[in-house]
Structure 1
Amino acid sequence: MSGASVQPGLAPEKFTESHSSGSKAALAVGAVGVVFGDIGTSPLYAFRETFLGEHSLTIDKLHIYGVVSLIFWSMTLIVSIQYVTILMRADNKGQGGTLALVALLSRYIGKSRWGFLTVVLGVFATALFYGDSMITPAISVLSAVEGLTVVNTGLEPLVIPIALVLLVGLFLIQRRGTAAVGKLFAPIMIVYFSVIAVLGTIQIVQNPYILQALNPWYAVQFFLTDGYIAFLALGSVVLAVTGSEALYSDMGHFGRGPMRLSWFGFVMPCLLLNYFGQGAMIAAMDPAETLEAMKSPFFVMAPDVLRLPLVILATAATFIASQAVISGAFSITHQAIQLGFIPRLSTEHTSATERGQIYIPFVNNVLMVSVILLVLMFQSSTNLASAYGIAVTGAMFIDTLLMGVLLIAVWKWKWWLMVPVFLLFVFVDGAYFAANLPKVPSGGWFPLVVGGFAFLLLTTWSRGRKLMRERMGEVALPIEIFAKSAQNSATRVPGTAIFMASSTAGVPSALLHNIKHNKVLHERVVILTVEIQDVPYVDPEQRCEFTEIGDGFYRAVLRYGFMDETNVPEGLKHMSRCGGKFDMMDTSFFLSRQTLLPGDKPGMPVWREKIFSWMLRNAASAMEFFSLPTNRVVELGSQVRI
């Protein structure tokens, strides 16, 4: 069993934030390339799907102005106010995202009933994110490649093969890391946003009346006229704000200031100009032409000679958007592993300078297979749009509930201020989620199935680890008593033995088995526990703690944040006071590997025990997870009943 455990955070001054250095403007430019790809590619399909989706609308002035008004106010309320203005203030030592928010809230509400509910909501939002990270690459790349049919309708049979080649290539390059490719992201996305803004501006100049849609009355009139159909249309309008969670999750890479500058100063104006431009173009068209143009208004805005270059540019932008979501899946998985919700997985660090750039082969392969199946099953971005909304709106609604806890428990807002703000966003995000529920039979089931399965695995692993530690703690022998008794019953041999322990109390089973079978003790015996704090990063100077027990025994602790790389040999370099420096050629690491047996009083249903046992068997070895030298590791097995 690994020594990773979630512990209460230390004093804030003992930790450092992870923001990259550099000017605010430079970071803002970098954010454009990395963070805004998902929401930036929504104009490819959001406006179109509102009219031609599962519940189609009449293409006339009333509906065009109503939809554009809904897009504007949705982007203003959800992205600009809820995420960029409010939630970006809720950082956990510089990091954002649902798990970081849950860790922050847990420090204030502890292990109360509300604390447990907060964790459950955060875990479910994380589970939904995996469904989102499968659908985003598929719908983004497909919607861009489908632009080829605007250039030449005869190219339609090539859309799916080209999309599959691009998607497979995207996943195959993940092992190389994003550092080299990332240098191209910002320039490409800046060109992309600038082009879509220019295309929209041209249409707005030709039909400036579309700017009347800034008035929310057009959105209200839409609902008064169409009622339930307008409500269902929200399920497609919300596609315009997909990627909101990414803005919050990626805050740690750039900081809230640069990201707000990017959003308000560049990205949001470009997106709105394009959406208003699409509306202006369709509204000014002859009614006989509108239906054909609405099949791909994003590409129809461009002159014929520029449509192929626009398809290529949009494809590059969707490639970047997909890359960001995949990298986000790696990051979320790494956080979940460190916080104890996912078993250890093989993780590769793809950059020597940026610790946040990681690659997890298992996650990459699962996403790749899932994305390929999605493209083959749904065949078009329109069909995929039905599956997309549920995951996005579900995660947004959970973020809203967590925001309510934040306003009361952490920021201590007055009730008269907190209640109207909270109810506003519950109403807005709840309406979007409810509007997507009718899509469940036609594709919305997919992210719910993925999210439900992921939630089952995450909670089963967390519960199983807790039960295993409780059972092992029941038979734990105090280290002080063991050290005195072992001194006279075992032969001391030269060198250092480090026994990895999951708890800072008791004797690890590997040490007991070593004495029982080998009847020897090293001159220096270190019982080492790795603790994962509920903060993103731990200052290396505050990473180590040790206690001398006597008779050559030491109790040591290495602390890491949930975004840190748990490199034990590197951490031991800072622990020279623990009986002297550690020479890896003279040090042996002893690990425990547990085998589960059915308990007389099982702590969870037998079927969940079997799932946990399967996850335990397939977890990456502690040797790999803790970066231990392969030729200095000894594993000793034990049996545990849970």
Structure 2
Amino acid sequence: MSQSEKQSLPAGVLAAAGIVFGDIGTSPLYTLKECLSILPGSGASAIAVMGFLSLIFWALTLIVTLKYVCFVMRADHDGEGGVLTLMSLARRHVSAKVGHIVVLAGLIGGAFFYGDGIITPAISVLSAIEGIEVVSPELEKYVVPLAVVILTLLFMIQKHGTEKVSRVFGPVMFLWFITIGVLGVRGILLNPEVLQALSPTYAVTFLLTHKALSFAALGMVVLAVTGAEALYADMGHLGKKPIRLAWLLVAMPALVLNYFGQGALVIADAKALANPFFNLAPGWGQIPLIVLSTLATVIAAQSVISGVYTLTHQAIRQGFLPPMRIIFTSHTEAGQIYIPVVNWLLFAAVTVIVLAFRQSSALSSAYGIVVTGTMVITAGLAGVVALRNWRWPWPLAFLFLLCMWMIDLPLFAANLMKLLSGGWVPVLLALTMMALMLIWSTERNRLIRRLDSDQESLLALVRSLESNPPTRVDGTAIFLSRKEFEIPQALLHNLKHNRVLHRRVVLLHIRTVDTPRVYNQKRISIRPLSPSFWQVTAAYGWREVPSMKEILHLCGLEGFGCTVNEASFFTSHDTLVMKKRKGLARIRGGIFHFCQRNALRAHEQFSIPPNRVIELGGQREF
């Protein structure tokens, strides 16, 4: 590491504590309470508590530490992580048939994340506000209104960006982890024997002696590892080392201490079972702890919201969602974005969830299916990457996949039991998002495939226009095309109706490549087709945002000088007319038509000034 990297490492660890571990860091608020709630009667015997503590510890160790920190985080794509990143990596070295399966798995994983995005803010904020019931049970009626107010304020400030607020995320979460760790030590001192639950024998014994409850127990234990996917998804923002160090040195020790402190308190005082987290604090410290918990859960919710924005942006750039308005809220951090449509749809969904479930205990019965489903898919895609990209021998890759699935599949199966008790809500949202992504990508690809893209036809047209030119006018005309050798419809319409042609004509194709970023040296390809026609191809990664100003600047460096304010941009915007369709095909076509009508136009996507754009189009059947 360079000296600058060494100096920035502590800051990176602090940032990781705030940005990455908000979700999993606030899980002690409700996890052990919900685990013990499934026991029959009073049920919280010392053996049962020790069994749950052992299950939680080994879930954190095997899933978060071994699976994600040690293995999955190795599967980076130019430093980027996340399920869609893993999908793009996995399909690079497989056949087209397997590639379709990989893409489908990636889309399911992405859709599951949307389902997680409505549950996490709701359960996190509710569980923190419920702390006021410990101070005074009469305050219970204010829990839901306060949660709705906090969530409303949180979603309202999104348009202003989180650059300034995010600077305090790290210190606040670092204080949170220190606090819950100290509270955990305070609880452990009541019954130090609880540390024996670090042995896996307590977990195995609990599952064998509570066979009827074993699946339900696994379904609740998964609450402790929600947010594990964030370690991988946020890798591109912070890097591997800060995230790994923050987990191993800060987050995991604090979480383990707090869980074991709660367990020791419950064993010593059965009355603490109502809310073991807040009962860990002395009476004078409960109100400050409620305030700190609320701040921590707001940060956890913010992390999930930002993750939904990032996933949406990535899906748009990869062609799985229609282009929509994206606002960059920071001049220095490209990852800080705001998507108005997504923000208010997410707010509406989260608010409905809070009003419908009203308690974190009720929400816990709906939580886990989409989280464990994403884990299963991540493991499968990581196995493909290990076999095809890392060139592991297939027995080793299969063993690697089998070890991960031996943990993930039982957890997923256990959480399927929650389907009828509320788990259908995030699953329904996930299925809706997956259907939308599949409909948009398949219908869009079908349209693009029907476009003529023949190099000889394009060259023949250029030769014809050079030998028999229409009236030529001064200036540069840039025609945007959706395929490299497509004859733009805007060019044909301009020749047919205006009967003029500019002295310089550029056929510009902006394509998204299957990498996060493209270096500027490889971004632009310029090819002269004739003395007055040029073909320009600009390549962008799916983590980048195309900019016409940047494209023309790079063209200028290659000797083709032109600025945005000197050129006229011709774009095509066809009116789609649906052919006769029946049943589901008609519904699919209607959804695509609606999305296409409301999608951003080309000049809005590529930052072209509206007064430089001429939009031409016609009707096209689909």
Q: Distance in 1 between matches of 2:564 and 2:39?
A: 63
Change (3 A) 1:466 1:441: same
SS at match of 2:539: strand
Q: Residues 142 and 160 of structure 1 are in contact (CA less than 8 Å); yes or no, is this contact kept in structure 2?
A: yes
The aligned counterpart of 1:6 is none
The aligned counterpart of 1:37 is 22
Shift in Å, 1:531? 1.2
Is residue 325 of structure 2 the alignment partner of residue 346 of structure 1? yes
Q: Distance in 2 between matches of 1:433 and 1:639?
A: 47
**Aligned mate of 1:275, from 251, 259, 264:** 259
SS at match of 1:547: strand
Q: Distance in 1 between matches of 2:43 and 2:558?
A: 75
The aligned counterpart of 2:237 is 253
Change (3 A) 1:69 1:520: same
**Aligned mate of 1:141, from 108, 111, 125:** 125
The amino acid that maps onto 1:337 is I
**Aligned mate of 1:93, from 75, 78, 87:** 78
Is residue 161 of structure 2 the alignment partner of residue 182 of structure 1? no
Is residue 142 of structure 2 the alignment partner of residue 158 of structure 1? yes
CA deviations on 1:565-613 (whole Å, 9 max, x unpaired) are 2212222111116663212222111111122223479998222111111
- Indicate the larger mover: 44-53 or 133-142: 44-53
The aligned counterpart of 1:588 is 568
Is residue 385 of structure 2 the alignment partner of residue 401 of structure 1? no
The amino acid that maps onto 1:62 is I
SS at match of 1:58: coil
The aligned counterpart of 2:65 is 80
- Note the 1:434-473 alignment, pairs <5 A: 434-473=413-452
The amino acid that maps onto 2:386 is L
The aligned counterpart of 2:502 is 522
Q: Residues 20 and 254 of structure 1 are in contact (CA less than 8 Å); yes or no, is this contact kept in structure 2?
A: no
Change (3 A) 1:586 1:604: farther
CA deviations on 1:531-584 (whole Å, 9 max, x unpaired) are 112111222232211111013111111111111122122221111166632122
Q: Distance in 2 between matches of 1:351 and 1:477?
A: 45
The aligned counterpart of 1:411 is 390
The aligned counterpart of 1:167 is 151
Q: Residues 347 and 625 of structure 1 are in contact (CA less than 8 Å); yes or no, is this contact kept in structure 2?
A: no
Q: Distance in 2 between matches of 1:55 and 1:73?
A: 24
The aligned counterpart of 1:619 is 599
- What count of residue pairs does the alignment treat as equivalent? 618
- Indicate the larger mover: 435-444 or 534-543: 534-543
Is residue 346 of structure 2 the alignment partner of residue 378 of structure 1? no
Q: Distance in 2 between matches of 1:368 and 1:560?
A: 31
- Note the 1:541-556 alignment, pairs <5 A: 541-556=521-536
Change (3 A) 1:461 1:559: same
SS at match of 1:190: helix
Gaps of 5+ in 1: 1-18
Q: Distance in 2 between matches of 1:604 and 1:384?
A: 33
The aligned counterpart of 1:478 is 457
SS at match of 1:523: strand
Shift in Å, 1:185? 0.5
CA deviations on 1:387-410 (whole Å, 9 max, x unpaired) are 221111111111111122122112
The amino acid that maps onto 2:446 is L
- Indicate the larger mover: 49-58 or 451-460: 49-58
The amino acid that maps onto 2:396 is L
The amino acid that maps onto 2:555 is M
- Note the 1:496-535 alignment, pairs <5 A: 496-535=476-515
Q: CA RMSD in A?
A: 1.9
Change (3 A) 1:46 1:211: same
Q: Residues 553 and 563 of structure 2 are in contact (CA less than 8 Å); yes or no, is this contact kept in structure 1?
A: no
SS at match of 2:80: coil
CA deviations on 1:33-60 (whole Å, 9 max, x unpaired) are 1111000000001111112259888211
Change (3 A) 1:602 1:161: closer
SS at match of 2:479: strand
Q: Distance in 2 between matches of 1:20 and 1:313?
A: 31
Gaps of 5+ in 2: none
Q: Distance in 2 between matches of 1:351 and 1:21?
A: 25
Is residue 621 of structure 2 the alignment partner of residue 641 of structure 1? yes
- Indicate the larger mover: 563-572 or 122-131: 563-572
Q: Distance in 2 between matches of 1:389 and 1:607?
A: 31
The aligned counterpart of 1:10 is none
Q: Residues 548 and 564 of structure 2 are in contact (CA less than 8 Å); yes or no, is this contact kept in structure 1?
A: no
Is residue 102 of structure 2 the alignment partner of residue 114 of structure 1? no
The aligned counterpart of 2:89 is 104
The amino acid that maps onto 1:106 is R
Q: Distance in 2 between matches of 1:253 and 1:167?
A: 25
Shift in Å, 1:476? 8.9
Q: Distance in 2 between matches of 1:137 and 1:399?
A: 23
Shift in Å, 1:160? 0.8
- Indicate the larger mover: 56-65 or 490-499: 56-65
CA deviations on 1:75-121 (whole Å, 9 max, x unpaired) are 00100011111000000000000011111112121x42221111100
CA deviations on 1:397-437 (whole Å, 9 max, x unpaired) are 11111122122112222344333332121121111111111
SS at match of 1:264: helix
Q: Distance in 2 between matches of 1:480 and 1:416?
A: 52
The aligned counterpart of 2:279 is 300
The aligned counterpart of 2:577 is 597
Q: Distance in 2 between matches of 1:57 and 1:233?
A: 16
Change (3 A) 1:457 1:105: same
The amino acid that maps onto 1:589 is F
Shift in Å, 1:20? 9.3
Q: Residues 53 and 382 of structure 1 are in contact (CA less than 8 Å); yes or no, is this contact kept in structure 2?
A: no
Shift in Å, 1:22? 5.9
**Aligned mate of 2:44, from 59, 65, 70:** 59
Shift in Å, 1:320? 0.4
Is residue 39 of structure 2 the alignment partner of residue 48 of structure 1? no
- Indicate the larger mover: 559-568 or 54-63: 54-63
Change (3 A) 1:489 1:571: closer
**Aligned mate of 1:355, from 334, 354, 369:** 334
Is residue 222 of structure 2 the alignment partner of residue 238 of structure 1? yes
The amino acid that maps onto 2:408 is D
Q: Distance in 2 between matches of 1:57 and 1:421?
A: 41
Q: Distance in 1 between matches of 2:455 and 2:578?
A: 20
**Aligned mate of 1:131, from 81, 91, 115:** 115
The aligned counterpart of 1:5 is none
Q: Residues 546 and 556 of structure 1 are in contact (CA less than 8 Å); yes or no, is this contact kept in structure 2?
A: yes
CA deviations on 1:193-234 (whole Å, 9 max, x unpaired) are 000000001111221101110111111111111113122111
Normalised by the length of structure 1, the TM-score is 0.93
The aligned counterpart of 2:203 is 219
The aligned counterpart of 1:14 is none
Normalised by the length of structure 2, the TM-score is 0.96
SS at match of 2:92: helix
Change (3 A) 1:476 1:549: closer
